[in-house]
Chains A and B, each alone.
Chain A
Amino acid sequence: MKFIVELALKNLARYKRRTIITAIAIAVGLMMYIIVDSMLIGAEYESMRNLRWYETSSARILDSGYWENRMQLPLDKNIAQPYRIIEELRDEGFVGTPRTTFSADMILSSEDFGEEGNLPVLITAIDPRTDNDVFRFEDTLIEGRFLRPGEDAVVLGSWFAEDLGAKVGYWVTLVTRGNGGFYEAMDLQVVGIVNCPNPNVNRTLVMMPIDTAGDYLAMDGAATEINILLPDSKDANGYLVEIQSIIDQSDDNLAVYSWEALAKDYLAIAEAKRGGTGVILFLVFIIAAVGISNTMLMAIYERIRELGMMRALGMTDSAIHMAFIIEAGGIGLIGSIFGVIFGAFGNFFLVNYGINFGMIMRDMDMGYRIQSVLKGAWNPSAIIIAFLAGFILSMLVAWIPTRRALKMDIPACLRHQ
């Protein structure tokens, strides 16, 4: 046994260039695995967070009729007294803010924008006093100021504003249908521009004060939704049950929906994407595996005569098998160690500094709710898996060609050129 290990290690040391190249291939594969995995986890984590921070909040109370017809954004399926419910929630320790969303035609005048135009938009009417208790828009303001209650004003997402050519101070006209169906038009001034890290929001965001919207749309104090901030906790469902019991006391028609339910489509895509990224990671592995199997194949074939000699001299097949597997495992181990070191090193920068994908994300809808800087995340299990896989896979891929070589009869091995 000692001889076998020695022989394997000597072969490793002897064929330095081959060992180094193969180990580098493995190391690069593993490093890519660790970094790609980190990026994907980071992207997903940040996406989910940005989804909650800027789109769905942690949970949302809706009229159940609204939920059923949510595609039409029905203003009449509303929460009649949102503030009373928010008060009740606050008594139980939950933070909430009302919002009303509605679609409108945005009319741009040539006076401000240089030419006439109109486009369909989605308006989010918020309570400027409480919205930032639940959402995080105030931190994202890059121009002008945030909304004030009761004013005829809008705040736009920066990409949306850019696409429109809108600047702070410009006026836009919204034509929409009020609660009941009547036409309404409102002239609103752009008072601020936010750069929201969630690209889907930043690309479309139009916010206005909920009381202004309520007046125009004849909401009579109603809102279409109450958004709730929940503490990060494993027991989100427990909170939902608690909130449901609170709102059941005041209105039978209201129901609370988790952000997962609200972002169901996104989560389904994310799930599918995870399958796709699994394929990417698998390919990374395959590259490393092909590298080592090719190396071992060459190593074995150029040593078939040597192998025949050892067999003739009475060395058992299992011992020879072991020698090659230890050799491959040695390359795998070196590659894995360096792969993990490089991967961890690269990941350190990825986690702490991130990569700026801003220009790519701007023009490409990747589905992720991330803008500009993408940061990685530490995933110890991926690193351990990468390490073990690099090591074990290397030995496994050496198994087959060795077995094939050992199936040749000894004279054939000795004749082998």
Chain B
Amino acid sequence: MKRIFLIIIILIALIPFALSAITVEEIINRMDAAETFSTSFSRGEILSTDRFGQKTSTFNAWARGADESLIEFTSVAERGQKVLRTKGEIYLFYPDAQELIRLQGAALRQSLLGSDISYEDMTGEKNTLAQYTATIEGQESIGGRFCHIITMVAKSRTVAYPVQKIWVDMETFMVWKAQYSTQNGRLLKEMEVLGTMEVDGRILPSRTAVSDKLKKDSKTIMVLTEMQIDPPLDPSIFSLQNLTW
């Protein structure tokens, strides 16, 4: 009995060691995997706050793989506006003007609906390791969850954020918190997950806050009210023809 107890203590003591034994590459890959679905449908809202006040926009979003997504805004002010992302390109559709705009290059840096999220932030290539060199800095508990703290340094200048520091859940590999900085370590943006939900056995962020650390009082909260993973989706949803219906 005493021996068993000892073994348990040793095992418990060894847990952090065992967990940290996992390589940083593995963590990142599992993190990417947790964020990638073959298809998804979600419903939610974006609450953006700046020094002029608060604004709420609601949306429906469809996604397939890492490259294709369609967001359709349903709130009154933006009703019918759509953002279609295909590999490497973003199209905006404005129903009032019946106008289709293709965003490229520098235009992708514009913010989505005046929030702290840029179009570029949405074009998330989910192959983080191709763009960043990651190292584990340690562990920390965030909201009662044990996380790996990982610092990622961009391998090239074509990545928007030269340095990212992320807190990845040891168990679910969900990112609880991320800090985006310049090369010199100047903190630009911070992302924090405020609430989660379980969908098909996966833990996903349901309430995420993004704030621009250089602009006071600037904060965007993205809330997912509904999420379906791997629903059957018509591939034509992600076509340009579909954009203008």
Q: In the complex, A touching B, CB below 8 Å? A: yes
Chain A interface residues (CB < 8 Å from chain B): 69, 72-74, 105, 107, 110, 116, 118, 173, 175, 177-185, 218
- Closest-by-CB residue of A relative to B106 is A72
Cβ < 8 Å to A, chain B residues 158-190: 158-162, 180, 182-184, 186, 188
Chain B residue numbers with a CB within 8 Å of A181 are 109, 157-160
Contact status B157-A180, CB under 8 Å: yes
Contact status A184-B183, CB under 8 Å: yes
Q: How far is the CA of A231 from the CA of B69 in the complex (A)?
A: 57
A72-B105, A180-B156, A182-B157 known; A173+B214 contact, CB < 8 A: yes
Chain B residue numbers with a CB within 8 Å of A178 are 157
Q: How far is the CA of A356 from the CA of B143 in the complex (A)?
A: 66
> Separation in Å of the A385 CB from the closest CB of chain B?
49
- Closest-by-CB residue of A relative to B105 is A72
Q: Check: B3 CB closer than 8 A to any chain A CB.
A: no
24 contacts between A and B (CB under 8 A): A72-B105, A116-B215, A116-B216, A116-B217, A118-B214, A175-B214, A177-B106, A177-B160, A179-B157, A180-B156, A181-B158, A182-B158, A182-B159, A182-B160, A182-B161, A182-B162, A182-B183, A183-B160, A183-B161, A183-B162, A184-B162, A184-B182, A185-B186, A218-B157
A118-B214, A175-B188 known; A183+B182 contact, CB < 8 A: yes
Most buried by B among A74, A182, A218: A182
Beyond contacts A177-B160, A181-B159: 19 other A-B pairs, Cβ-Cβ < 8 A, are A72-B106, A72-B107, A74-B106, A107-B215, A116-B217, A118-B215, A173-B214, A175-B188, A177-B106, A180-B158, A181-B157, A181-B158, A182-B154, A182-B157, A182-B158, A182-B159, A182-B162, A185-B214, A218-B157
Instruction: Count residues of B near A (Cβ-Cβ below 8 Å).
Output: 23
Contact status B159-A177, CB under 8 Å: no
Chain B residue numbers with a CB within 8 Å of A179 are 157
- Closest-by-CB residue of A relative to B215 is A118
Cβ < 8 Å to A, chain B residues 169-222: 180, 182-184, 186, 188, 214-217
Chain A residue numbers with a CB within 8 Å of B109 are 177, 181
Chain B residue numbers with a CB within 8 Å of A74 are 105-106
- Closest-by-CB residue of A relative to B157 is A180
> Separation in Å of the A28 CB from the closest CB of chain B?
52
Chain B residue numbers with a CB within 8 Å of A177 are 106, 109, 160
Contact with A along B129-163 (1 / 0, CB 8 A): 00000000000000000000000001011111110
Cβ < 8 Å to A, chain B residues 41-99: 51
Chain A residue numbers with a CB within 8 Å of B161 are 182-183
> Separation in Å of the B102 CB from the closest CB of chain A?
14
Contact status A183-B106, CB under 8 Å: no
- Closest-by-CB residue of B relative to A178 is B157
Chain A residue numbers with a CB within 8 Å of B183 are 182, 184
Q: How far is the CA of A183 from the CA of B182 in the complex (A)?
A: 6
Q: How far is the CA of A184 from the CA of B161 in the complex (A)?
A: 8
Q: How far is the CA of A185 from the CA of B213 in the complex (A)?
A: 12
Chain A residue numbers with a CB within 8 Å of B217 are 116
> Separation in Å of the B27 CB from the closest CB of chain A?
24
Chain B residue numbers with a CB within 8 Å of A180 are 156-158
> Separation in Å of the B172 CB from the closest CB of chain A?
29
- Closest-by-CB residue of B relative to A107 is B214
A74-B106, A177-B106 known; A183+B216 contact, CB < 8 A: no
> Separation in Å of the B178 CB from the closest CB of chain A?
14
> Separation in Å of the A371 CB from the closest CB of chain B?
32
> Separation in Å of the A125 CB from the closest CB of chain B?
17
> Separation in Å of the A81 CB from the closest CB of chain B?
19
Chain B residue numbers with a CB within 8 Å of A118 are 214-215
> Separation in Å of the A179 CB from the closest CB of chain B?
6
- Closest-by-CB residue of A relative to B109 is A177
Chain A residue numbers with a CB within 8 Å of B159 are 181-182
Q: How far is the CA of A181 from the CA of B216 in the complex (A)?
A: 24
Q: How far is the CA of A181 from the CA of B107 in the complex (A)?
A: 11
What are the 4 A-B residue pairs with the smallest beta carbon separation, nearest first? A180-B157, A116-B216, A185-B186, A72-B106
Contact status A185-B182, CB under 8 Å: yes
Q: How far is the CA of A107 from the CA of B213 in the complex (A)?
A: 11
Chain B residue numbers with a CB within 8 Å of A182 are 154, 157-162, 182-183
Q: How far is the CA of A177 from the CA of B188 in the complex (A)?
A: 12
Chain B residue numbers with a CB within 8 Å of A185 are 182, 184, 186, 188, 214
- Closest-by-CB residue of B relative to A181 is B158
- Closest-by-CB residue of A relative to B180 is A183
- Closest-by-CB residue of B relative to A180 is B157
> Separation in Å of the A18 CB from the closest CB of chain B?
63
> Separation in Å of the B195 CB from the closest CB of chain A?
28
